[in-house]
Amino acid sequence: MSVFRGIYRFWVSLMTVAVVVQIAFAGYGAFTAAHKASKSTLNDHAFSHGFNAHAALGTLLVPAALLLFLISIGTLDKRRILQSLGVFALFIAQLLLGWTGASAPYILGALHPINAVIILGFLGSIAYREWKGERATRVEPAAPPPA
C-alpha cells in the first residue's frame, strides 16, 4: 500500500504540472488566434491550429485522471479514493465543456476555464497535502525538554 501511496503522490504532482501546461497551451491558442485574426480573416483551420496542443493534452488528461483513481484504489485510503474520483469527475466535465462550449449556450464555454482553475486548485491542494504528509511522517518528534 505504501508503494501505491508513493505512486499516487508522484502521479497527482505530475497531473498538477500537466494542468499548468494545459492552461499555457490555451493561452497560446488564444493569442495565436488573435495574432492571425489581426493579419487576415480567421477561418476554422487557422483558429483551431493554435489549440491543437491544448486539445491533445486535454484529451490525454482524462485517462490520466482515471489512472489516478485506479492508483488511489490501491492505496486503500478512502480519502484518496474520494478525492481522485472527484478529480476524474471534474475532468469528465471539463472534456464535455470543451466539446460543447462553442456549440451550446455560451455560458458553457465560460465554465470551461473556470473548471480548469477548480481542477488546478484541487490537484494542487492534493499534491501539497501528499508531500506535506510525507515530510511529517519522516520528521522525528523532538525530545521532551529536560525537567
The count of domains in the chain is 1
In a domain, 144, yes or no: no
In a domain, 146, yes or no: no
User: CB of 78 within 8 A of CB of 85?
Assistant: no
Residue-range definition of the domain harbouring residue 42 = 2-138
pTM of the model: 0.84
Q: Which residues, other chains included, contact 87 with Cβ-Cβ below 8 Å and sequence gap of 6+?
A: 15, 65, 68, 69, 119, 122, 123, 126
Residue by residue, pLDDT tens for the chain (147 residues) are: 689 999 999 999 999 999 999 999 999 988 888 877 777 777 677 777 788 999 999 999 999 999 999 999 999 999 999 999 999 999 999 999 988 877 777 777 889 999 999 999 999 999 999 999 865 555 556 667 776
